[in-house]
Amino acid sequence: MSTLEIKDLHVSIETEQGVKEILKGVTLTIKSGEIHAIMGPNGSGKSTLASTIAGHPRYNVTSGTITLDGVNVLDMAVDERARAGLFLAMQYPVEVPGVTMTNFLRTAKTAIDGEAPKLRTWAKDVRSAMEKLKIDADFANRNVNEGFSGGEKKRVEILQMELFKPKFAVLDETDSGLDIDALRVVSEGVNRAHAENDMGTLLITHYTRILNYITPQFVHVFVDGRVAEQGGPELADELEANGYDRFLAPVQA
Amino acid sequence: MTNPASAEQAEKVEGVEVGEARITIPGMSEEGENLATAHVETEHTHGGLGESTTKSKSGGSRADRTTSLSVADFDVPTGREEEWRFSPLKKLGRVLSDAATQTPVTLKLRKTPDGVTQESLAHAQSPRGTVFSAADRAAVVGYSQTEQADYIKVAADTELSDPLFIDITGEAAGHRANGHLVLEAGTHSKVVFVLEHRGSADANLNVEVIIRDGADVTVVSLQRWAEDAIHVGQQDAELGRDAKYKHVSVTLGGEVVRLNSNVRYAAEGAEASMYGLYFADAGQHLEHRSFVDHNSPRNTSNVLYKGALQGQDARTVWVGDVLIRKAAEGTDSYEKNQNLILTDGARADSIPNLEIETGLIEGAGHASSTGRFDENHLFYLMARGIPEKEARQLVVRGFLNEIIQAIGVESIEDSLHEDLEKELEMVGF
């Protein structure tokens, strides 16, 4: 059983206009096997939280802590965090030219497990994971994300999640740009990892659609860099019905 | 705000009538799509066999560059010319002189399958010089000093399943070697030519590629010379109707290499791709100039050159010219150069030039980047647990591999991977 604890996190970025604070004191705890949904209007800081957990260099933590089973995550380099069991399914996966999917997956798996996966079982695992996510077999020979459609990129993110078996997965708007079939297939992947590996999930989403397929125990509403409200799945229903209006400051006439 | 023009007070901007009825951009015709004829230079003609056009000063339109087969039309460069200002002229002096061959490079076709013939061609002997016209001093002296050109022809409708390997070996370092190679692919033929340059020489070697209608031709020029070789060359191709041409230049060896790769079209429907990969170490000067002349309509071109540099005074230059002439409606072209600087002290120059004379095209773009690693690539790989050092190794290899993947000949790809590994090991990659 693992615990990922975020306490009073303040995060800022450098912009042309100067330093801008995006997260203004986020507190959140997630345990193995739990599914948390993070919702909120655009600009509320949801993606910033995801990138900060993964350690993207663009984001500066000005105060607060993130610990994984008591160990300080903020002190760890990006690759150390992944090896410690954190996985980020990115919102905009980049293309990495000239590096094939097979090469990349094997290198990453070796890094995460600390040893190279057995060749024969690995090839089978990759093939079967690709089938379950309806990813064409020839994708293995393509360069990472090169020429992939938005939906294909997202499915490949989930493929990696299933192969690397993280303790905690942060899914940054994985549902955006997916059609119904892709949405269903991706959700099955998340539910599988949750059931088989007791994975904890931080599901960042703008729309409630994906919550028809992945049932959260906890829903957090982000507004202006903070958690404005927390609740169970019924909070998601309420948001679907009423939107984010009641969280937003009234417009001065 | 409307401004009705009366007969006497028509609104004018810079002498051109503007106003509601007639909006004209000075310099463009009414539709704004074609340069008004007054602004287009007179018909561009390239010198044919032995003919020459008037010399014009360099640095203007690429279309104005002199081309000719006559040495008298090209002065020895001073280094102030636009196309020579990056080049180490002292070292290149040996290949710019109008000098005969001291020790020739040996050219050997490894296999001669059915449908392939090999001959030699004297100066005015067709098809020598039908597609090639020298565009600079280096090319003209090399051409002029080559008595017998090698001529390798693939007959029409011949589809070769294996590449044609041509070994070009420099036999004596510091010895001048001039050469001219004519490659011809008959109509609807399919062939991959691999020119493997090894050994050492002061080599001035031109290549002329004649691609007949519907042919599918790849020319891979590998510069794997010894460390002290000098190599200048102009590699020209003309594409027939619906033809396909892929030119890949891989330059790893040589002390100074300066190559011009040019493409133009005889008709429509053709596709040209030009790829380049160069890896410069300390003291090397690797210069690649590409030129795509869209001289007829509805053809496409794509140019991608990539370079890595390591070591003090490693030096690379890429200049990519694309000219879309007024007649070349329906053109789709793109060119890009990317350079990865692996250590301090290295320098890459990258200059894309795009000249467009008609707006009725599918697309024309150019891009250039020179620098260190892309932070987003590194982040992506590290976020999957891959340590930073290994992530950089993957990114560098991936960067270079994109061009190797374009070659499509497995045996060469493996051998190039080995050479690149050796290069990268030198810098701890």
Residue of B nearest to A100 (CA): B398
Residue A132: left (phi > 0), alpha (psi -120 to 50), or beta? alpha
Chain-chain contact of A57 with B386 (C-beta, under 8 angstroms): no
Chain-chain contact of B399 with A108 (C-beta, under 8 angstroms): no
What is the number of structural domains in chain B? 3
Q: Nearest Cβ partner of B382 from A78, A104, A143?
A: A78
CA distance A74 to chain B (A): 14
What is the predicted pLDDT for the residue at B195? 98
Mean pLDDT of A110-129: 92
Q: Domain coordinates of chain A in residue numbers? A: 3-247
DSSP 3-state percent helix, strand, coil across chain B (nearest 5): 15, 40, 40
Identify from A79, A113, A115, A143 which residue to disrupt to test chain B contact, counting B C-beta atoms within 10 A and taking the largest count.
A79
ipTM of the complex: 0.94
Tell me the three state secondary structure of residue A208.
coil
**Cβ proximity of B279 and B405 under 8 Å:** no
Residue B390, Cβ neighbours under 10 Å: how many?
17
As beta bridge partners, residue A96 has: A144
Given B332, B347, B372, the domain boundary residue is: B372
CA distance A138 to chain B (A): 16
CA distance A233 to chain B (A): 30
Range of the domain at B9: 1-40
As beta bridge partners, residue B265 has: B239
Residue A225: left (phi > 0), alpha (psi -120 to 50), or beta? left
Q: Is residue B52 part of a domain?
A: no
Indicate whether B424 and B323 sit together in one domain.
Answer: no
Indicate whether B99 and B9 sit together in one domain.
Answer: no
Indicate whether B395 and B411 sit together in one domain.
Answer: yes
Mean pLDDT of A109-124: 92
Q: Which of B378, B402, B392 is nearest to B424 (CA)?
A: B392
Q: Where are the alpha helices (DSSP H) in B237-295?
A: none
Mean pLDDT of A166-193: 93
Per-residue confidence band for B58, with pLDDT thresholds at 50, 70 and 90: very low
Indicate whether B398 and B355 sit together in one domain.
Answer: no
Q: Is residue B47 part of a domain?
A: no
Q: What is the mean pLDDT of chain B?
A: 87
CA distance B401 to chain A (A): 5
Per-residue pLDDT of B354-380, as tens digits, reads 999 999 999 998 988 888 788 889 999
Angle at which helix A119-132 crosses helix A180-197, to 10 degrees, equals 130
- The pTM assigned to this predicted structure is 0.79
What is the predicted pLDDT for the residue at B53? 35
Q: Nearest Cβ partner of A99 from B385, B387, B394?
A: B394
Integer Cα distance of B87 and B315 in angstroms: 10
Q: Name every chain A residue with its beta carbon within 8 A of the beta carbon of B383.
A: 54-55, 78-79, 81-82, 88, 90
What is the predicted pLDDT for the residue at B8? 40
Q: Is residue B152 part of a domain?
A: yes
Answer whether residue A131 shows pLDDT above 80.
Answer: yes
Indicate whether B337 and B245 sit together in one domain.
Answer: yes
Indicate whether B66 and B33 sit together in one domain.
Answer: no
Answer whether residue A247 shows pLDDT above 80.
Answer: yes
Q: Is residue B50 part of a domain?
A: no
Chain-chain contact of A96 with B377 (C-beta, under 8 angstroms): yes
Per-residue confidence band for B43, with pLDDT thresholds at 50, 70 and 90: very low
Place of tokens 């229903």: A237
Mean pLDDT of B80-107: 95
Answer whether residue A25 shows pLDDT above 90.
Answer: yes
Percent of chain A with pLDDT over 90: 82
Chain-chain contact of A107 with B401 (C-beta, under 8 angstroms): no
Q: Is residue B160 part of a domain?
A: yes
DSSP annotation of B63: G
Per-residue pLDDT of A55-103, as tens digits, reads 999 999 999 999 999 999 999 999 999 999 999 999 999 999 889 999 9
Chain-chain contact of A96 with B384 (C-beta, under 8 angstroms): no
Chain-chain contact of A93 with B380 (C-beta, under 8 angstroms): yes
The count of residues in chain B is 429
CA distance A247 to chain B (A): 33
Chain-chain contact of B382 with A79 (C-beta, under 8 angstroms): yes
Integer Cα distance of A32 and B379 in angstroms: 26
Q: Name every chain B residue with its beta carbon within 8 A of the beta carbon of A158.
A: none
**Fold held by A3-247:** Rossmann fold (3.40.50)
Indicate whether B346 and B205 sit together in one domain.
Answer: yes
Given B372, B387, B413, the domain boundary residue is: B372
Least reliable range by pLDDT among A195-204, B18-27, B290-299, B360-369: B18-27
Chain-chain contact of B397 with A99 (C-beta, under 8 angstroms): yes
> In sequence order, which residues have a C-beta less than 8 Å from that of residue A243 and are 6 or more positions away?
none
Radius of gyration of chain A (CA): 18
Q: What is the largest CA-CA distance in chain B?
A: 80
Residue B23 or residue B78, greater confidence: B78
Identify from A51, A52, A92, A96 which residue to disrupt to test chain B contact, counting B C-beta atoms within 10 A and taking the largest count.
A96
Tell me the three state secondary structure of residue A132.
helix
What is the predicted pLDDT for the residue at A251? 60
Indicate whether B359 and B258 sit together in one domain.
Answer: yes
Chain-chain contact of B398 with A143 (C-beta, under 8 angstroms): yes
Per-residue confidence band for A250, with pLDDT thresholds at 50, 70 and 90: low
Residue of A nearest to B394 (CA): A99
